[in-house]
Amino acid sequence: MPDAEAPLAFTVDEASVGARVDALLAERSGVSRAQVKRWIDAGRVTVGDEVVRPSRKVALGESIEARPLEPVEMALAPEAIPLEVLFEDEHLIVIDKPAGLVVHPAPGHPGGTLVNALLAHCGDLAGIGGVLRPGIVHRLDRGTSGVMVAAKDDDTHQGLARQFAEHTIERRYRTLVRGVPRADEGRIERPIGRHPRDRKRMSVEAKIGKPSITNWRVLRRFRRAMTSELEVRPETGRTHQIRVHLSSAGLPLVGDTVYGRARGSDARLGRPALHAARLGFDHPIRGERLVFETPLPEDLLGWIADLGPAEDVE
């Protein structure tokens, strides 16, 4: 079977010591761990001269080489789902994702996803970034709205994935939280991993967690409603990072019934109050800096309107 792309080869540096080979390769290549596992199972990944298992831990100075497989045929169907396009060229597309739209197919959501919409809008994305997640470089949770970028070709996908891995992507979120912090800004540095008792949740109490950093600052305080609007800037990109970190700091997101203190009114909002308001990155092919911003959607604006008087932070 021919290769889909040239072999990927690199040497393990100090920052990667102890990582699983499948996780490290997924990060370096920009494809999913499931895709990397296919390469490993086919004997196309070596550490030194050794064919390895996905869970094999890497050591400093080891040489890793991967020969990607040709992507298998996708079973995904294009669906004419409307997209709010902020920017598009032959290499990438930037959209304003609405809350409620699942990014890629998964058990329970075989269709009606952003991937299905991109297949209809962009045409052939087969194999770009993985069989089940073509074009997807990063994702927003189903309940999160805001700016997302997707790739149309392998070079663009790898270039964007590299920027996410190196944390040179600018990401700013706006959120509503329960509580009124005294400080105008803060920084949370707590590792995040799987919850020790509930594997469906993430936690700062995990036995093994990945370094995670979230910065926040207050935009407005609604003291009567004991609610605040924050701008959040994550430096890392862990699953549910903003929700987990802010909850651990006593500032759970409004509407977050998983990591927050559920209230009856949260059901009315129907999702965590989180919006990806700003995304900035270097165009992987043309090199220029691109920055996109979107305003809060109507559901969050309506919620804010009911909170009463606000104290703006200068």
Per-domain residue ranges of the chain: 8-66, 85-165, 170-278+295-312
Question: Is residue 3 pLDDT above 70, yes or no?
Answer: no
Strand order in the sheet with 63-66: 8-11, 63-66, 45-47, 50-51
Cα–Cα distance for residue pair 301/280, rounded to 1 Å: 24
Q: Which of 141, 154, 155, 282 is catalytic?
A: 141
Length of the chain: 314
Residue 219 has pLDDT above 60, yes or no: yes
**Predicted confidence band at 95 (pLDDT cuts at 50, 70, 90)?**
very high
The verdict on domain 85-165 having CATH code 3.40.50.10190 is: no
The overall average pLDDT reported for the chain is 88
Give residue-wise pLDDT tens across range 35-54: 788 888 888 899 987 888 88
Write down the pLDDT at residue 171. 97
CATH number of 8-66: 3.10.290.10
Query: Above pLDDT 90, what percent of the chain?
Result: 54
Q: How confident is the model at residue 4 (pLDDT cuts 50, 70, 90)?
A: very low
Residue 208 confidence (pLDDT) above 80: no
Q: Is 13 one of the annotated active-site residues of the chain? A: no
Domains 8-66 and 85-165 share a fold: no
Give the CATH number of domain 170-278+295-312.
Answer: 3.30.2350.10
Query: How far is the C-alpha of 250 from the C-alpha of 181, rounded, in Å?
Result: 9
